[in-house]
Amino acid sequence: MTMIRYFLLFVAPVALFAAGGGSGEYDIVPRTINFAIFAAILYYLLAEPLKSFYFQRLNGIAESLDSIQQKLKESKAKKEEALSRVEEAKVAAKSLIQTSKKEVEMLKQKFQKELSFELEGLDKSHNEQVEIERRRMTRVAVSEVMDEIFKGDSTALDRDKFVNIVLKKVA
């Protein structure tokens, strides 16, 4: 049906604008038949290749669109995966920060305990050294006093003199 419409569409202008040679004879019918045969031959020769070209082009575009959509889906999936990995990394980073803060606190407390033990040990050692030095000084002072007493002329000393000698040595 559409074929007839196209045929009439092409033939009508030819029939309307055909001019006669002046002799009064019209050769419109043979020309129309020749044109119809020419159009039919063109259609017969070109219709299938044009249709196949059109459908191949249409299929190629559809395949290209499908591949682009597939790549788009893949890239969206990769993007989502990357975003999920980023979120996991953020959570892991927060966890690491909290763990490291706890470890820092534990190490800080450990070092404070060790430092306090070491300071207590040094304080004890210092007190012991002071006590040992006092005893040594006392022995030296007593020894010097006793040497003076035994070297001196009189062996009997009164109490005040003895205290003065000890105070001189101790001071």
Contact 138, 110 (CB under 8 A): no
DSSP 118-150: HHHHHHHHHHHHHHHHHHHHHHHHHHHHHHHHH
pLDDT digits (tens, 9 = 90+) for 34-61: 999 999 999 999 999 999 999 999 999 9
Q: What is the pTM of this model?
A: 0.41
Q: Which residue has the tokens 């055909």?
A: 18
The pLDDT-based confidence of 157 (bands split at 50, 70, 90) is: low
How many residues in total does the chain contain?
171
Residue 115 Cα distances to 103, 108, 118, 156, angstroms: 18, 10, 5, 56
Contact 28, 13 (CB under 8 A): no
The pLDDT-based confidence of 70 (bands split at 50, 70, 90) is: very high
Higher pLDDT, 153 or 43: 43
Amino acid identity of 83? L
